[in-house]
Structure 1
Amino acid sequence: MRITDEVLDWQNCQVIEKNRELPHATLIPFSDFEEALEKQRNESRYYKSLNGTWKFYWARNPLERPKEFFQKAFDDSHWDDLEVPSNWQLKGYGKPFYTIDKYPPCISTKKREIPKITLEDNPVGSYRKKFVLPKDWVDRQIFLHFAGVKSAFYVWLNGKFVGYSQGSMTPAEFDITDFLQTGQNLLAIEVYRWSDGSYLEDQDMWRFSGIFRDVFIFATPKIHLRDFFAYCQFDEYYKDAKLFLKVKVRNYSTDIKLKHKLEVNLLDNEKKQIKTETLLHREFNLGALNEFTIELSSLVKKPKKWTAETPYLYHLLLFLRDENNKIVEVIHSRFGFRQVEIKNSQLLVNGKAVLIRGVNRHEHNDTRGRAITEEQILEDIKLMKRYNINAVRTSHYPNNPRFYELCDELGLYVMDECNLESEGVRNFLPKSDPKWTKACVDRMIRMVERDKNHPCIIFWSLGNEAGFGNNFKKMLEAAKAIDLTRPFHYEGDHRLKIVDVFSTMYTVPKELERAGKYKPTRPDWFARRLGPKHYRDKPRILCEYAHAMGNSLGNFHKYMEIFERYDNIIGGFIWDFVDQGIKAPDKTIESWLYGGDFNDEPNDGNFCINGIFLPNRKPNPSAFEVKKGYQPIKIEAIDLKQGKVKITNNYAFITTEDFYLEWELLADGELLQTDRIDQLVIAPGKSKILTIPLEEPELAIFTEFLLQLSFKLKEEKAWAEKDFIIAWEQFEIPFRTKSNLEEHESKLPELRYEELEDVIRITGKQLVVQFSKKSGRIKSLIHNGREILVRPLTPNFWRAPIDNDLGIINFAPKFLKGILKRRFYRWKKANKKQVLKKIRVTPLDKSTIQIQTTSKIPFALTPVSINYTIFGDGKIQVDYTFTPRIELIRLGIQLALPADFNQIRWYGRGPHETQWDRKRGAPIGIYNLPLEKFIHNYVKPQENANRTDVRWFAITNNKDIELLVRAEGKTTINFSAWPYSQTDLENARHIHDLPKRSFVTVNIDYKQRGVGGDWPSVARTHPEYRLKGWKKYHYSFSIKIKNTTTSN
């Protein structure tokens, strides 16, 4: 083929394939009943994997590619070896490229030029693989299957051209029967990184390329069950179901096939035959080189139903027999009796309303890119189940086929999304342009045909952020010609012309509630409102919400409250599941890279880092908030002193019989009473009042009582171990308590003070405190002769910006100083502009001395007032009062301790990081962590490690000294600690950029601003989680240095 011909192919949106086979359901033939039932598809004798080591050559552009490499005589001995499947950028060839919606420079986005790809800047990967055909495949039809190749590719076998394909996220198959030879065969593949198909693959993700999914060949008989579609419909009571089958039989031979027979067996999960009302079989004749569709149906009495909560699967076996009743082939599939409907603005599964507690998920692994393994897929699904996620959107393309099978088995609802996104040019492509109709429809058909038999799929989605026009209507028509059993979704249909659900993204809670009340509401941030008549029969769903970029997911509970309050709002999919970081090589600490780290220009930086899990699948703190918000059992207080609580089972299909309830009464964080209730069976959607047999202590010797209730698994599941916590709640019990004010000894050791030239020194029995007369700050704490402070106690009004603080700066870094200065940047240097106005020493008695300081800082209505009261026992109480003129981002005090203070205990929320507007997923308790585990390493370093609602915390060195800090009065405190400085944290771009300092930074805060997260990378922090200007703030805490042998 000439290069000009090839350019026409991969720059011609009318050419989407050459010689590619028609799409079909995922299937592989077996030779008999036993093999089909007991073996996996890849264990069939008619399956041969071509995964493994291939010879590979990478060229910067088509002009430099080896043009005759497909010839058998071509010498590839000097080529590299490359693992298949893989993305070649992660194997050292070319560079990864990340943007949200920008196309690479080589792809023109000028309307009059599209599709145009610069010839000189389109890398090409050439692959060669030798294989030998199994001997028992003689006289069979042989097919070559590519599960995923990006972006476009040509195929040759034994030097002969086989075909071409694009549309990278669904399979491409070729009939290679006539190209094979006895003995060794040579397969040659030429993959183009960019093609006209790339215009439709503008997803917010890494732009990898190569053969990234399985490659295999399989053999079929000359008459073959090429495709099938199995589905069901329940009666009006959802008890009995009618099973429907559409089976396509293909005759590849030139002979007429007479008196062949199709038989269908249905077996339960234990592999026992299920009786059907009528026998599922059909005898037929089939002409030469012809295809015939057989339709069968039968009533099945009271089948076990499939749902995400009860993922019961049957075995469906299709037998093809010849005229002598001999088995020609057997096809095996799992089948779930499941019916999806939209009724009364609700999503119904098997007749019951279902709430989508979902998440968006990209296929991504930090070392393999999109070439993920089955083990990695299974890990993701188990994580979703463990964090109470019941649904996943395959954003924004069909996933690896094994993903759907595992969702069927373990139980997840799936929105299967077409590989169609043109965000960078969606204003005019594909819209209604007839040149793109073929490509759009092809992508939709290939997805639906491949995945139609999976019960887990309850929505088809036409794509993402690709505009709207007639091409979408034609995609829908083509899909409905295949499957009418599922509703259709597409967020881009803002006027709801063709879709079955009203989908929006990043709708804020207040606007979402308007839809719940059937008021005019916006389908998009900038779109005009839709009146209720347009959407009254279409349930509202958030295809993306709760943007989890970095330290985010604030006020997540507000969405949960709305989901629960309004039946016509059926939930949503969080953006997103996992940070799309690429593991940094050769680092002593686990760290990841993102856009711009590979000299990939243009790029969108760390905007691919927005998961509730890190790239290594360890949870970000937001994951715990998701698990709490999504928990399917609700626990409410009724009469806490009497121990009465209300338990509501929010599962749609299962009772609570698989769980036991464990309750604990905690007194000041310590366990006082505990027991478990095993026989607590609550039907789906029902509630029960329960009385916990609490015993109130006779004496008020504790300051606080908390009741913790946890629902745990009685037995292990496929995705969780026995005793795993599914749901929990915590309540304060109003028993009699003592004051939380620390009682001092009746007679404390005496204190003395002296005023020197630069400092005020207060000396006690074990402690020496020095105040700077210039700043008014504590600059020295000496305990038993050892200096404890590395840096003085300093007021702090700043935090290392989180991604949401930066907002639009994430997209346009050059605006950093301007925008931050207008918002919070001014607080960064407020300390340096602080001027001490007054410092006064007042001895209150021989054992108590008070230091009063008043300082003037910019942007304040009143001076900063910090009073220190030093007691003879070494306790220092700090009373901090301040009224800002403008909104604060933080109000606190920062200090630094020696590096050996690296063990942290606290009584507050935990054990993970919490924030003012993201703390419901963390119970109050006593926790103990080393500093290295106390911090949280976000992929892009930012403010982290905060703990909220803290009563006290202690930081201990590796010898025998601890710094104990207690909240005083009625207000709890926040605190955090890092093994580096706040400046280090602000300046670092990656985890490995953070130095390990010779000190530990400690923050003792009143609060810091909430993290927000309603919109992508914008801190739409709700008003109640802001430190507003013109408001007086006051908090108190005490510091005490003591030996670790001394109790709290």
Structure 2
Amino acid sequence: MKVWENHQLDHIDRLAPRASFNSYPTRQAASLNENKYTHAYQCLNGNWKFCFLEAPEYSPENFFSPNFDTSDWKTITVPGNWQTQGFGKMHYSDLWYNFPIDPPYVPTKNPTGIYKRTFNVTPNFEAQRIILRFNGVDSAYHVWVNGKEVGYSKGARNEAEFDITEFVEFEHQNDLTVRVYQWSDGTYLEDQDMWWLSGIFRDVELIGVPPTGLSDLTITAEADGHLAIKTKFEQAISREIRFELLDKDQQIILDQTVLSDNADVTFEQPHLDIDPWSAELPNLYQLFISVYEDGKLIEVIPQKVGFRTIAVVGETFLVNGVAIKLKGINRHDYNPKNGRTVTKEEIRQDIILMKQFNINAIRTSHYPTQRAFYDLCDEYGMYVIAEADVECHGFELTDNYNWISDDPGWELAYTSRLLRMIMRDKNHPSILFWSLGNESGFGHNFKKMALLAKEVDPTRLVHYEGDFEAEVTDVYSTMYTWLEHPTKQPLMQDIIKNSTKPHILCEYAHAMGNGPGNLKDYQDLFYAHDKLQGGFIWEWFDHGIQTTAPDGQTYYRYGGDFGDDPSNRDFCIDGMLMPDRTPSPGLYEYKKVIEPIHTSALDLKTGKLEVLSRYDFASLAQFDLHYSITACGKVIASGAQELPAVPARKTAVLDLNYDLTKITAKPNTPYYLNISYRLKQDTLFAPAGHELATAQFKLPLEEAALKVMPTGKLTVVEESTRLIITGADFSCHFDTVLGSLHNLKRNGKVLLKQGPQFTLWRAPISNDMEIIDELKGKYFLHLEHEIVRNFDWQLTDNCLQVDVKTLNSTTNSAWHYKCHYRYLIYPSGDIMFSLKGLPGGKTALAPEMLPRLGVKLRLNNELEAVNYFGRGPNENYSDSKEAGLMGLYHAKVDELFTNYVVPQANGNHMDTYWLSLTDDRREGLFFSDPTTFNFSVSHYEDTDLDNAKHTIELKKRDYIVLNVDYKQNALGSYSCGQWQLDKYRTKFEPFTLSFRLCGFSGVEVSEDVLAMEEIE
């Protein structure tokens, strides 16, 4: 049997897993806690010689020899994945194994990379035990030093250490060879939703430690101040061990010395006076363990300690006695250029950004990440579900999902991965759960893993979503559980009613493309029920591969773009961050939905409010409240005050002390109270002034619209198939055959080329992927037809009324809309437009849900400047509008276009009172309606967005496309999860859309004044 196909061989000469810590020669060096100042350290990252082979058997003879000639080998960067460096094939799949399922066997054609480099051992390694550490190698590998085999390991995302003391030569240059296999029996446990990427993708390190020194360390620090420290040494000899614990001010709160001649030493101290650790208050203490032998200091171990307790009580799990809410995200290691190779600084920036967006929890989907991640979660404050490197998703498509998960012969393969994770990361207070893996069925091996987790670390909870009955897990965990569905089980309501264990959604709200929707609906349920303890959005990052087009444009490729087959294509483009790290509109929505302060209005006339803290531990004293009263974006009044120290989960009444009676309301103008909660002081993750929560209320200030009587002379001429209308400074015409308005001009300049025309179609979004065949193939919604039944006009009292009646439907459809367009055109150039639609025909055959109900217009492409009063600044939809605050916003057309990796419908803005589009001389078009409308604007037609697979395929039209909608459909999360909720859907229903349209000059009149008017 080939070594890499032996699932019962876990390793060859790999060291036992142990806790993550560094050893230093002095207390001063330990206080710096940098690798450079340890006893001995050398990073072996950099350029290695590389030989890429079709199979291991093709390896050159004696390739591991120090004298082997590598002059014709390529060079590769370590750490890094070989596919991102031009070796092998890029392949993305969510589900499938890329070879026949025959465990533990893998393909004969097994891409193999042989890595070689040399290194010199510095003198400080002398008298030390020398350890070679691989932090991540995909999938299995052999190691040689100076031509001698050191060992073998697998488990791609687990660390492996080898003792190479006896192999290293101090007098000569040392040769290191690593042979890596893309496929191994371990691959059957590594079928996660991600790119298949191979090679040495994390750091390679050389570490020197005292031969008799500390080999393992277990710290239990509980919220009541109880501290227990278990130390394990390489040898049982007489030694002194000093334990010092310092608080954040470097004050010593514990200083005890233990004498022992045992290899295992335990120290306990009850009831220390400490501040507990939580994600909101990440209080950390500095522990120093100093080891003396024969009165001589041998080593000092620094370790951060957080005091925190987690336990299940009834139907909830409690952290420090509180049934917390997880406001989480699933995170892969990912970089658009380097694949799964990420730096500590990239991880830090991830966590900082998450904290700035109110996220408090991370699931390490679906494997352990590098050790720096957990240090940063401890430091910044993040709850962590630490997940083992176990996923067997491809077996789901066989007759036996539990094929190897219920096979005792694979027990070691499963339990080893869990044990290695627990042993390395057990001392991190940020970790609340040990997760056994993901999407691997269930059976014997998961039961053994759960027992092992409880045996090795009884202080934490066990998680695994695949344990559908929560037989061995401490929480009931589900994925993409629906809020409503006619048949699907379970629904969230069922869990609320029937579950007897705490519940979390380890994945929900699939953030693919434009979306996700329904975030508020889920969060409202979490807040309403103690047992629903939150969830984790899927996922943090779009996994696009950065690519430069021939013209220099940067774009991102996804599955299938590399000839990879089968592939789940753009299913990897499903993050809250776009590949260039731009936060998506969905991330802003999530920030708002999970914000830490909820505000209710008690009396808007005087500014009396109630604030509710959504924190579990922290008070609101860290915030300042800033408020403003605005009218069309102009500040009428403003103020600020410190928030009182409202305890977690408590309320307080605030009084802003303004007086609305002192404000004279303008005609037809909405007034809003805007509230911003900002950090009072700098924090680790954000500067003072950073906004973490908002609130907005429409104020009871109303004044009737300003009545305007248009003046001037209107000329109407009908010739052939055109109806030509002329006023003092404007003109336009209708095509009497098509019933459409064309060429609206003001002072001779064409502002509106065509429109408005009814449409019920929008370009599909990623969350339409499950219904796109139905939308297009059954209902042909993308193939619209408008049949003009009647065109009438009459000029009365210097006002032209044009009525166009149409039948609107799609190819081969027996259902339709009977539409009635009405235009009232005045000498001033004002056009009062309305469109009424009534369902007709065989209505039972109509789709239950329509993409939109609205009109499309084509505008002069010079009208690039967009001003609007509505929800913004980011796009918003009926099920994703909490972050869209009402206000006056200014942008260019391109800035209102969300450039998703896969082009799709985007940029909608709800509750719009008025909208203008102008050129660089402030000449343009104005739209308004007191009942509000939706709008979106771009340089592309829906067909352009539908047909393009990448952003570089989009070519701007020579006009601007404007959609003004009565309704636009919700987003949902149906790419993987809940579809559009019924209350948010656009349905086959009667509708009326109306707005005022006119050309104007911003030099003559401002938009907010135009908005005050009502045409008589």
Q: Smaller-chain TM-score range?
A: over 0.9
Of residues 581, 599, 608, the one that matches 1:635 is 599
For residue 802 of structure 2, what is the aligned residue in structure 1? Answer: 851
Q: State the alpha-carbon separation in 1 of the partners of residues 801 and 617 from structure 2.
A: 64
| 2:483 and 2:978 in contact (8 A); partners too | no
The reply to whether residue 560 of structure 1 matches residue 523 of structure 2 is yes
| 1:504 and 1:524 in contact (8 A); partners too | no
The reply to whether residue 1023 of structure 1 matches residue 975 of structure 2 is no
For residue 983 of structure 1, what is the aligned residue in structure 2? Answer: 943
For residue 704 of structure 1, what is the aligned residue in structure 2? Answer: 670
Letter of the structure 2 residue corresponding to residue 308 of structure 1: A
Q: CA deviation at 1:899?
A: 2.5
| 1:1011 and 1:1019 in contact (8 A); partners too | no
The reply to whether residue 64 of structure 1 matches residue 80 of structure 2 is no
Letter of the structure 1 residue corresponding to residue 197 of structure 2: F
For residue 837 of structure 1, what is the aligned residue in structure 2? Answer: 789
| 1:1010 and 1:1026 in contact (8 A); partners too | yes
Of residues 179, 183, 192, the one that matches 1:190 is 179
| 1:147 and 1:171 in contact (8 A); partners too | yes
Encode CA deviations 1:640-679: one digit per residue, 9 max, x unaligned: 2332221011111111111100111112332111000125
Question: CA 1:670 to 1:91, structure 2 compared with 1: closer, same or farther past 3 Å?
Answer: same
For residue 962 of structure 2, what is the aligned residue in structure 1? Answer: 1002
For residue 624 of structure 1, what is the aligned residue in structure 2? Answer: 588
Once the two structures are superposed, the pairs formed by residues 305-384 of structure 1 within 5 Å of their partners are 305-322=276-293, 324-384=294-354
Q: State the alpha-carbon separation in 2 of the partners of residues 500 and 662 from structure 1.
A: 43
Q: State the alpha-carbon separation in 1 of the partners of residues 623 and 346 from structure 2.
A: 28
For residue 821 of structure 1, what is the aligned residue in structure 2? Answer: 777
For residue 462 of structure 1, what is the aligned residue in structure 2? Answer: 436
Aligned sequence identity (%):
36
Describe the SS at the equivalent of 2:191: coil
Letter of the structure 2 residue corresponding to residue 97 of structure 1: H
Question: CA 1:899 to 1:531, structure 2 compared with 1: closer, same or farther past 3 Å?
Answer: closer
Letter of the structure 1 residue corresponding to residue 728 of structure 2: K
Q: State the alpha-carbon separation in 2 of the partners of residues 556 and 59 from structure 1.
A: 48
Question: CA 1:118 to 1:679, structure 2 compared with 1: closer, same or farther past 3 Å?
Answer: closer
Q: CA deviation at 1:456?
A: 0.5
Q: CA deviation at 1:960?
A: 3.6
Once the two structures are superposed, the pairs formed by residues 95-114 of structure 1 within 5 Å of their partners are 95-104=89-98, 107-109=99-101, 113-114=102-103
Q: State the alpha-carbon separation in 1 of the partners of residues 282 and 464 from structure 2.
A: 27
Once the two structures are superposed, the pairs formed by residues 395-434 of structure 1 within 5 Å of their partners are 395-426=365-396, 427-434=401-408
Once the two structures are superposed, the pairs formed by residues 700-779 of structure 1 within 5 Å of their partners are 700-702=665-667, 703-739=669-705, 743-744=707-708, 746=709, 748-779=711-742
For residue 165 of structure 2, what is the aligned residue in structure 1? Answer: 177
For residue 682 of structure 1, what is the aligned residue in structure 2? Answer: 646
Question: CA 1:258 to 1:929, structure 2 compared with 1: closer, same or farther past 3 Å?
Answer: same
| 1:319 and 1:329 in contact (8 A); partners too | yes
Encode CA deviations 1:811-831: one digit per residue, 9 max, x unaligned: xxxxx3x56333xx523222x
For residue 918 of structure 1, what is the aligned residue in structure 2? Answer: 880
For residue 1010 of structure 2, what is the aligned residue in structure 1? Answer: none
Q: CA deviation at 1:867?
A: 0.4
The reply to whether residue 245 of structure 1 matches residue 225 of structure 2 is no
Describe the SS at the equivalent of 1:891: strand
Of residues 718, 740, 748, the one that matches 1:785 is 748
Question: CA 1:42 to 1:451, structure 2 compared with 1: closer, same or farther past 3 Å?
Answer: farther
The reply to whether residue 595 of structure 1 matches residue 583 of structure 2 is no
Question: CA 1:679 to 1:62, structure 2 compared with 1: closer, same or farther past 3 Å?
Answer: closer
Question: CA 1:782 to 1:1018, structure 2 compared with 1: closer, same or farther past 3 Å?
Answer: farther
| 2:453 and 2:462 in contact (8 A); partners too | no
| 1:804 and 1:1018 in contact (8 A); partners too | no
| 1:28 and 1:47 in contact (8 A); partners too | no
The reply to whether residue 1039 of structure 1 matches residue 997 of structure 2 is yes
Of residues 426, 429, 437, the one that matches 2:411 is 437
Letter of the structure 2 residue corresponding to residue 626 of structure 1: Y
Q: State the alpha-carbon separation in 1 of the partners of residues 105 and 645 from structure 2.
A: 63
Contiguous gaps of at least 5 residues in structure 2 = 1008-1016
The reply to whether residue 265 of structure 1 matches residue 228 of structure 2 is no
Question: CA 1:449 to 1:423, structure 2 compared with 1: closer, same or farther past 3 Å?
Answer: same
Cα RMSD for the two superposed structures: 2.0
The reply to whether residue 584 of structure 1 matches residue 547 of structure 2 is yes
Question: CA 1:321 to 1:769, structure 2 compared with 1: closer, same or farther past 3 Å?
Answer: same
Q: State the alpha-carbon separation in 1 of the partners of residues 749 and 188 from structure 2.
A: 66
Describe the SS at the equivalent of 1:20: coil
| 1:805 and 1:1019 in contact (8 A); partners too | no
Encode CA deviations 1:588-647: one digit per residue, 9 max, x unaligned: 443211100111111001001111111122111111110001101111122223322210
Q: State the alpha-carbon separation in 2 of the partners of residues 436 and 524 from structure 1.
A: 34
For residue 1014 of structure 2, what is the aligned residue in structure 1? Answer: none
Encode CA deviations 1:95-130: one digit per residue, 9 max, x unaligned: 2211111011xx322xxx32221112x211111111
For residue 930 of structure 1, what is the aligned residue in structure 2? Answer: 892
Letter of the structure 2 residue corresponding to residue 870 of structure 1: I
Which of 128-137 and 38-47 deviates more?
38-47
For residue 1013 of structure 2, what is the aligned residue in structure 1? Answer: none
Q: State the alpha-carbon separation in 2 of the partners of residues 1047 and 152 from structure 1.
A: 68
The reply to whether residue 570 of structure 1 matches residue 530 of structure 2 is no
Q: CA deviation at 1:156?
A: 0.4
Describe the SS at the equivalent of 1:37: helix
Q: State the alpha-carbon separation in 1 of the partners of residues 673 and 97 from structure 2.
A: 55
| 1:641 and 1:735 in contact (8 A); partners too | no
For residue 870 of structure 1, what is the aligned residue in structure 2? Answer: 825
Q: CA deviation at 1:81?
A: 1.9
For residue 289 of structure 1, what is the aligned residue in structure 2? Answer: none
Q: State the alpha-carbon separation in 2 of the partners of residues 167 and 747 from structure 1.
A: 77
Letter of the structure 2 residue corresponding to residue 991 of structure 1: T
For residue 486 of structure 1, what is the aligned residue in structure 2? Answer: 460
For residue 117 of structure 1, what is the aligned residue in structure 2? Answer: 106
Describe the SS at the equivalent of 2:268: strand
Q: CA deviation at 1:282?
A: 3.2
Once the two structures are superposed, the pairs formed by residues 608-619 of structure 1 within 5 Å of their partners are 608-619=572-583
Once the two structures are superposed, the pairs formed by residues 230-241 of structure 1 within 5 Å of their partners are 230-234=219-223, 238=224, 241=225
Of residues 273, 288, 308, the one that matches 1:302 is 273
Contiguous gaps of at least 5 residues in structure 1 = 252-256, 286-291, 513-519, 810-815
Letter of the structure 2 residue corresponding to residue 460 of structure 1: W
Letter of the structure 2 residue corresponding to residue 704 of structure 1: P
Question: CA 1:134 to 1:455, structure 2 compared with 1: closer, same or farther past 3 Å?
Answer: same
Question: CA 1:505 to 1:459, structure 2 compared with 1: closer, same or farther past 3 Å?
Answer: same
Q: State the alpha-carbon separation in 2 of the partners of residues 506 and 449 from structure 1.
A: 31
Q: CA deviation at 1:344?
A: 2.8
**TM-score normalised according to structure 2 size:** 0.94
Encode CA deviations 1:349-395: one digit per residue, 9 max, x unaligned: 11122110111111111111110011110111011101100001001
Which of 897-906 and 1015-1024 deviates more?
1015-1024
Describe the SS at the equivalent of 1:641: coil
Question: CA 1:123 to 1:298, structure 2 compared with 1: closer, same or farther past 3 Å?
Answer: same
Of residues 803, 814, 827, the one that matches 2:766 is 803
Describe the SS at the equivalent of 2:386: strand
For residue 205 of structure 2, what is the aligned residue in structure 1? Answer: 216
Encode CA deviations 1:470-501: one digit per residue, 9 max, x unaligned: 10111112222211101111111111111100
Encode CA deviations 1:564-595: one digit per residue, 9 max, x unaligned: 11111111111111111111224644321110
Q: CA deviation at 1:750?
A: 1.2
For residue 17 of structure 2, what is the aligned residue in structure 1? Answer: 23
For residue 445 of structure 2, what is the aligned residue in structure 1? Answer: 471
Q: CA deviation at 1:280?
A: 4.7
Q: CA deviation at 1:158?
A: 0.4
